[in-house]
Amino acid sequence: MEDMKEIWWKEAIIYQIYPRSFMDSNNDGIGDIRGIISKLDYLKELGITVIWLSPIFKSPNTDNGYDISDYCSIMEEFGSIEDFKALLNGAHSIGIKLILDLVVNHTSDKHPWFLEAKKSKDNPYHDYYLWSDKANNWKSFFSGSAWEYVPELNLYYLHMFGKNQPDLNWKNPKVRQEIHNIARYWLDLGVDGFRIDTANMYSKVEGFPDCEGEGLILPVPFFINGPEIHNYHKEFYNECFSKYDCFTVGETPFTDPEEALLFVGVDRQEMNMCIHFEHIGINSYKDRQEFEPVDMHKVKEILIKWQEKLSNDGWNCLYLSNHDQPRQVSRYGNDSKYHKESAKMLGAMLHTLKGTPFIYQGEEIGMTNVGFCSISEINDIESLNNIPEFGEEKVLAFANEMGRDNARTPFHWNSGENAGFSNAKPWIRCADNYKLINAYEQKNDPDSILNFYKRLISLRKLKKALVYGDFHVHETPYDDLFCYTRELEGQSIFVLLNMSDKSYDYKVPNGKLLLSNYNHDSNIIKPYEARIIEKAL
Ligand code: TEU
Ligand code: CA
């Protein structure tokens, strides 16, 4: 079976670093590359095998690096290309690979291509972007129209994100070539692959048709998984990725497993994994007024569906958080009464399902949502752009539940000033609970979330069934319990996860207890309990 082929990225544990918030080496309040270098031994000890760096390229930072003005140079605040090479060598020398974030749906409006493009319609770069003489009813991700008017040209340009992030015209072969060259530049330097930003948004439906309905609408059918998207990825793979031992994971919102297989199916030759959003997008914030808590039964159902649909072809990416999502223990667990238990249970799930686990910085110590007190503490363009429509109060409430800033506050290294992140005031405030929740305290506590993550990671390296084993759901009478086995040539591992704060009477199969977040083996399953058992065969 093709998917049994042993490949490094299937065995990987990927750790996402948001460089601005990881570690500040020169005390200007902004995380940087030298800061990351100083923490490589922390990552080695944790056991992760791949680092994914959120964008480190030159950027005016209207969207914190997801608006790039030069793809081949390093953002000044983060350091220099020499610093980057030192990080890459340092990581490689301890057996850690490194992937970069390729943000190529759009550039910054300060990118030289765009500065040229808006000079005149005959400029050779004009056709690098998408123009129209009228603004249709498309809404951007970051509020308001997706079109911005350029009076000098009497034309509008398309921006599916902020107005400082004009969308590139992928129909133009020159644009695609430039993008391939950028990827090659970094691969030639030795990087091990890419997380590809907004990987399913490059092909827009011809003619920019209006969406049906009132007001501005996010035009999902007209820019997600568009007509040429698979051709673009196949070309990218053939021209570039196929020539390297590299790995690619594309971010693909609004994508079901059938469509996902078209990106990641082994014979498709497009990308290795995709980041789907089905379990992430299940609760909404209706009109930014009423927040619905996550229904863990739905999460379970969705994860099972993806496990089953991508079982023989393709490969899952296992994650609950990243730099765009609130903290996972706050959203899917219980960040007060069962902080430790639920953080560990969620970690156990991510390391025992079939696929590659992605840890977002701070998840391994159970960092929580922040509890921002005023709108002046909010940095994220997505939140701030909502103010004209919803007002500050609602936007603050939204930001506290779902806002992206929750994930972007400084990493908690210790209980010292600014959580040990910097001696200077950080660019964004720290969460208040860093004195209780930090890496230093947890390193020395055998029962900590951090040490549990270390054990999970070692276990996954030790038991091949946890990587390559088939996934089978194990039915129980209780919806709150998520039980499954992972089976591979004589190895059978049973996983029980209690996704709730209730207790259940349930007899688990006999076998050797490999790991648990409680210290007992009774039939009473405690709140948020996780047990990983090697079944006697
Ligand atoms: O996100 C793209 C995306 O589709 C959204 O899910 C995004 O999270 C947005 O917040 C919608 O609410 C990627 C990056 O991960 C994000 O940080 C960038 O802001 C965005 O692309 C633009 O590059
Ligand atoms: Ca710095």
pLDDT on residue 518: 98
Task: Give residue 117 CA to ligand 2 midpoint distance, Å.
Answer: 33
pLDDT on residue 371: 97
Of the residues 197, 223, 382, which should be mutated to test ligand 1's pocket, given the most ligand atoms within 8 Å of the CB? 197
Q: What sign does the CA torsion over 466, 244, 172, 164 have?
A: positive
Cα 397 to Cα 372: distance, rounded to the nearest angstrom: 9
Number of the ligand closest to the Cα of 54 = 1
pLDDT on residue 3: 47
447 is an active site residue:
no
Task: Give residue 159 CA to ligand 1 midpoint distance, Å.
Answer: 13
Q: Please, which residues have CB within 8 angstroms of residue 288's CB and are 6 or more apart in sequence?
A: 386, 390, 394, 395, 397, 398
Cα 80 to Cα 57: distance, rounded to the nearest angstrom: 10
From the CA of 382, give the closest atom in ligand 1.
10
Pocket of ligand 1 (CB under 6 A): 63, 66, 103, 141, 161, 197-198, 251, 253, 323-324, 382, 404
Among protein residues, the one with the nearest Cα to ligand 1's atom 17 is: 324
Among protein residues, the one with the nearest Cα to ligand 1's atom 2 is: 198
Q: What is the mean pLDDT of the segment spanning 423-436?
A: 98
Tokens 């030795």 found at: 190
Q: Where are the beta strands (DSSP E) in 412-502?
A: 470-473, 481-488, 491-498
251 is an active site residue:
yes
User: Which residues crowd ion ligand 2, with CB under 5 Å?
Assistant: 24, 26, 28, 30, 32
Reply yes or no on whether the pLDDT at 1 is more than 50. Answer: no
Q: What sign does the CA torsion over 34, 36, 39, 41 have?
A: negative
Task: Give residue 440 CA to ligand 2 midpoint distance, Å.
Answer: 21
Average pLDDT over all residues of the chain: 96
Reply yes or no on whether the pLDDT at 531 is more than 50. Answer: yes
Cα 238 to Cα 232: distance, rounded to the nearest angstrom: 10
Reported confidence tier of residue 288, pLDDT bands at 50, 70, 90: low
From the CA of 105, give the closest atom in ligand 1.
23
Q: How many CA atoms lie within 13 A of 216 on its CB side?
A: 13
Among protein residues, the one with the nearest Cα to ligand 1's atom 1 is: 198
Among protein residues, the one with the nearest Cα to ligand 1's atom 20 is: 66
Query: Token pair for residue 407?
Result: 């994930």
Reported confidence tier of residue 333, pLDDT bands at 50, 70, 90: very high
Q: Please, which residues have CB within 8 angstroms of residue 144's CB and are 6 or more apart in sequence?
A: 163, 216, 385, 388
From the CA of 322, give the closest atom in ligand 1.
15
Closest CA to 237 of 169, 184, 294: 184
Reply yes or no on whether the pLDDT at 43 is more than 60. Answer: yes
Number of the ligand closest to the Cα of 107 = 1
- Cα separation values, 458 from 496, 499, 511, Å: 19, 23, 19
Number of the ligand closest to the Cα of 423 = 2
pLDDT in tens, 204-234: 999 999 999 999 999 999 999 999 999 999 9
- 178 and 172 in contact (C-beta within 8 Å)? no
Among protein residues, the one with the nearest Cα to ligand 1's atom 11 is: 141
Q: Which of 24, 83, 251, 341 is an active site residue?
A: 251
